[in-house]
Amino acid sequence: MADAMDARWLIQLSYFVAAVLFILGLKRMSSPVTARGGILWAGAGMLVATLVTFLYPGMGNYPLMIVAIAIGGVLAWWTGKRVAMTDMPQMIALYNGMGGGAAAAIAAVELFGDTDHGLSFAILAVLGGLIGAVSFSGSLVAFAKLQGIMKRTLRFPGQQAVNLVLLLVTVVVAGIVVAQQGHIGLAVLFFVLALALGVTMTLPIGGADMPVVISLYNALTGLAVGFEGFVLQNAAMIIAGTVVGAAGTLLTRLMAKAMNRSLANVLFSGFGDTAAAGGAVEGTMKPIDAQDAGVMMAFANKVLIVPGYGMAVAQAQHKVWELAQLLIERGVDVKFAIHPVAGRMPGHMNVLLAEAGVPYDLIYDENEINPEFPTADVALIIGANDVVNPVARTDPSSPIYGMPILNADKAKNVIVIKRGQGAGFSGIENALFFLDQTRMLYGDGQAMAAELIHAIKQL
C-alpha cells in the first residue's frame, strides 16, 4: 500500500517536471539562439514521463507495451533520420496523424470498456476521440498528397453539403454513444464516421493550402490529447495537449494570415474552383538560355533570389547557394527574398537554405526586401510562382487578390527558372512571366542552377 502511494507521488512529481520542461522547451524553441536546447529540454521531459509511467499502479501487459514502443519508436526513428529535408512537411503530417490516432485509440479503449464514466468524462472522451480520429485520417490524406501518392484533388458538386451532413451525423452518433455507454457497435460506427470525415474534409483542399491544414491538424491533435488527459486524469497530457492546442491554433492563424485568407476560406472553398475567374494575361513568355542568364547576373550589381517550392522539389538549394557564392565572389550584392508562405510550410525555405549553409544575414523576409526590388538588376525566381504574381496587387477579380507578394515585377530584369509553361499550384496564370523584362529559363531547378554556375565560371 505504501509502495503504491510512493509510486503515485513519484509519478505526479515526474509529470509536473515533464510539463514544466515542455513549456520551457517550447519557449526556447521560439528564439533562434536557444532553439537547439529547446528540443533537448522537451525530450528530457518526454523521457521522464514515459519511464515513470511504467510504475503506474494497476497495470499489466508490460511485454506488449515494450514491444509496441519498440515497433513505433524504431520505425519513426528510421524514417525520421532518413527523410530528406525537402520532405519534412509530410513527415510532420504523418507523425502528427499518429498522435491523433493514439488519442482516438485511448478514447476507443475507454468507450469499449465496461467502466461507466460520469457524463462529463464520457463527453470529453468522445470529443477527444472525434478530433483525434479526424486528425488521424486527415493527416494521412495530407501526407499522401504531399508525398505524391495522391495526385488529384477530388472535388464534386455539393461536396460541402455532403461534408456538413457527415459532420452532423457523426455528432448525433457521438451523442448517442455518450448516452449509451458500453454499446460497442455504436462506438465502432462513431469511429468509422469520424475517420471518414477526416478524409472527406481534406480531399478537396489543394496542395498549396496543405501547410495551414497540417498546422490545424497539429493543433487538433493537441486538443484531443488534452481531452483524453482529462479522461485519464493525467495532468501531463492535459497541460502538454492544451498548450499545443493553443499554440497550434495561433500558428495556423498566422499562416492563414500570411496568405491573406481566413481559415474557413482555406477549409471550405476549393481554391482551384475560382481560378477560372481570374482575368486572362496579355503578352508572351520569352525564353532565355543559361549562358545569357549567367552573363546577366555576373555583371549585375544586385541580384535578389526568390526561392519557392520548385527549389525544394528539385533539391536545388545547395546549387543555388553555390551560385550565390560565385556571384558574391564577383562582387555582386546577393540577397535571398523569402515569402512567408513560400514552400509547403512557413519557414520551409529558411530551413532548406539553412541546410545548404546560407547564413542568416543574407536572408530577408517580404517586408524587409520589397523596397529593394526596384534597385535590383536581376530577380532570380527559382520554383516560386503565386508568391510573385503581381495580379495579387492589380487584379481584384483574381482569387489571390490582396495576398501580400514579393514585388519581383519591379526588378529591372527577371529570370524565372521553371520546369514547364504550366500555371502554379493554385492554377492561376502568372502575369510576371509575361512582362517585357522577364525571361524564362526552362528546366529542372538543380540542373539550371548548375548550368548557370558553369556559365559564370567560363567568363
Partner 1 sequence: MIDGFIALYIFMLAAFTGYEVIARVPVILHTPLMSGSNFVHGIVLVGAMVALGRADTTLETVIGFIGVVLAAGNAVGGYVVTERMLEMFKSSKEKR
Q: Which of 129, 204, 308, 340 binds partner 1 (CB under 8 A)?
A: 340
Judged by CB under 8 A, the residue of 42, 324, 376, 380 near partner 1 is 42
Determine contact, residues 127/228, Cβ cutoff 8 Å. no
Which C-beta is closer to partner 1: that of 76 or that of 186? 76
Type of residue found at 139: S
> According to CB under 8 A, which one of 13, 164, 184, 459 is a site residue for partner 1?
184
- Nearest distance from residue 111's CB to partner 1, in Å? 10
Contact between 10 and partner 1 (CB under 8 A)? no
Residue 316 lies near partner 1 (rule: CB under 8 A): no
- Cell digits for 261? 485568407
Near partner 1 by CB under 8 A, which window of 52-60, 159-167, 369-377, 394-402? 52-60
- Using CB under 8 A, which of 7, 285, 347, 419 touches partner 1? 347
176's grid cell: 448517442
Beta carbon of residue 392, minimum distance to partner 1 (angstroms, whole number): 19
Cell numbers found for residue 323? 551560385
Catalytic-residue membership of 333: no
Q: How far apart are CA 190 and CA 200, in angstroms?
A: 15
Listed ranges 156-164, 221-229, 263-271, 427-435: which one lies at the site for partner 1 (CB under 8 A): 221-229
Nearest CA-CA partner of 129 in 246, 224, 197: 224
User: Does 266 engage in binding with partner 1 (CB under 8 A)?
Assistant: no
Q: Contacts with partner 1 in 63-102 (CB under 8 A)?
A: 64-65, 68-73, 75-77, 79-81, 83, 85, 88-89, 91-92, 94-96, 98-99, 101-102
Q: Which of 289, 292, 386, 436 is catalytic?
A: 386
Among 4, 5, 9, 113, binds partner 1 (CB under 8 A): 113
| Least distance between partner 1 and beta carbon 14 (Å) | 10
The catalytic residue positions are: 386
